[in-house]
Structure 1
């Protein structure tokens, strides 16, 4: 009898343990109240601001209007991993910036596991438009500036000014093209051809990416590219955006794409950098500035410091 009692208690205890495991598993699947802002499962739209120039780092403590690939991809990952979030809205107001940084954010948008809607407020041009192009939907303010599909490489020739003020700047170099783009001389015809080839290659890549992301013909995109800018209304007519409207319209569209049929919550994921990240960026740029200062004893405006190469 004692053995039978122990057997019954063992079975009951085992069954109770199984029930606890099932209960915990169900809670895990449904999500709990510890998600972003304590929202429930699947009824939240996460808004990620993209405000400012797209680059790989900030130049100082005071310069905060810089969009870095790391902060954006981290925010997208945070939204993807939170079970309460069903869709993402990128709130874009940017003239573009670094080609590589823009491409990195574009890939993060393209590979998102949750629907992404882009809302362009004042401006979504050049590199910022490249970022927006793979989104599931693009909504632009009717009066916004959209497009500027092109690449620019800016250089400065100050040789005439140097002559007038009596500055004789030169370089001791190893490598024929090491001072290409230096401000104390103009480009040679060969150098112009070389740099033009680089810009043309990136331009073609930009066009093909937009064509692929927006499901448009390459030749059609080329015909409306050329660095031209358009209003949001014009951009819709040209198929560069899907709809015109305000931020609320974009959020509503994202909610429906995310499968939310009723009311929904909206949260904003604002990237925050740690003190270590800020100091790292500041020290990196300080080292660059210091190196530039030392280098000025040899060549103050080498190609590395005088060239502005960007999608903007």
Structure 2
């Protein structure tokens, strides 16, 4: 009997503790959702002195969307880091380490504009260091660099735009599933996955793709000082190795992040400087918040991730094999 009482008490305590955790996470989530609270630690990698060389990392798909936990997007986080660089008079150069296949057209262009604004405002050099992949939108950002370093085996290029539309009309017809769109205009349901794409609709989408493509070409022409005709010849969507990219004038030198950082120091005009990185401050609330998606996973089979690329259609500067 005594043992049963202790078991019952233990169960009550566990339930109570679980309730506190849920309440805490919920409160933390609300707090961070209302104010993302960008908090950065400035970690010194090497060097000394008061002047700084900032290493900033663009890793993964470039997106303006928040993740599943509601935390800020990559675009928001990098923009905040750029703002910090902008406000720190001790920063004398920026090294942009890119390991990305690209991503959303809008998010990529906004970051590109933000970096150019920083260069114009602060007149500091930007040196790009390419990782394993710096393709499509990753290369779009690389054009902001005063010099681009890469490995001979880096995967780059994929210069162009893609717009994917998911269509299940054939499968729906076989299953006897039909969707009827009551619309206000001829093109209101343009790109509907429940019916075939018409030629006029395809032309509309192609016009959007062409506009974004021309912007990409302009960015390369200006950033790499190449003729428009030359860029049009090489910007056909194919990927290039670092070796090929150097021959085409898309990158400048072979070298790793450390070599790119040394070059940035030489451009900065400072005899010595600290090499620093911004890292997000870890807190209990952020840790629990990041685990929230695993505690209440609405998609245990991972089907959302499989179909994610076929969700809301977007113009993409992205390498998508």
Compare 154-163 and 167-176 and name the one that shifted more.
167-176
Name the SS of the counterpart of 1:173 in structure 2.
Answer: coil
Correspondent of 1:45 among 48, 53, 60: 53
Q: Confirm whether residue 90 of structure 1 aligns to residue 96 of structure 2.
A: yes
TM-score (norm 2): 0.71
TM-score (norm 1): 0.73
Correspondent of 2:136 among 126, 138, 148: 126
Distance 1:267 1:138 in 2: 20
Distance 1:46 1:164 in 2: 57
Q: Would you say the 8 A contact 1:118–1:132 is kept in 2?
A: yes
Measured against aligned partners, the alpha-carbon deviations of 1:67-100 in whole angstroms (never above 9, x if no partner) come to 6333222212212322332211111111111111
Q: Confirm whether residue 195 of structure 1 aligns to residue 205 of structure 2.
A: yes
Distance 1:178 1:126 in 2: 30
Aligned to 2:10: none
Q: Would you say the 8 A contact 2:221–2:231 is kept in 1?
A: yes
By relative contact order (CA 8 Å, sep 6+), the higher-ranking structure is 2
Measured against aligned partners, the alpha-carbon deviations of 1:243-264 in whole angstroms (never above 9, x if no partner) come to 11111111111111112334x4
Aligned to 2:277: 268
Correspondent of 2:80 among 69, 74, 80: 74
Name the SS of the counterpart of 1:180 in structure 2.
Answer: coil
Distance 1:256 1:146, change over 3 A: same
Aligned to 1:56: 64
Distance 2:218 2:148 in 1: 18
Q: Confirm whether residue 184 of structure 1 aligns to residue 194 of structure 2.
A: yes
Q: Confirm whether residue 311 of structure 1 aligns to residue 317 of structure 2.
A: yes
Q: Confirm whether residue 109 of structure 1 aligns to residue 121 of structure 2.
A: no
Measured against aligned partners, the alpha-carbon deviations of 1:160-206 in whole angstroms (never above 9, x if no partner) come to 11111221222222221111111111111111111111111211111
Which of the pair has more CA radius of gyration?
A: 1
Distance 1:81 1:207 in 2: 31
Structure 1: unaligned runs, 5 residues or longer: 1-34, 283-300
How far 1:272 moved relative to its partner?
6.3
Q: Would you say the 8 A contact 1:152–1:199 is kept in 2?
A: yes
Query: How much is the aligned-residue C-alpha RMSD, in angstroms?
Result: 3.0
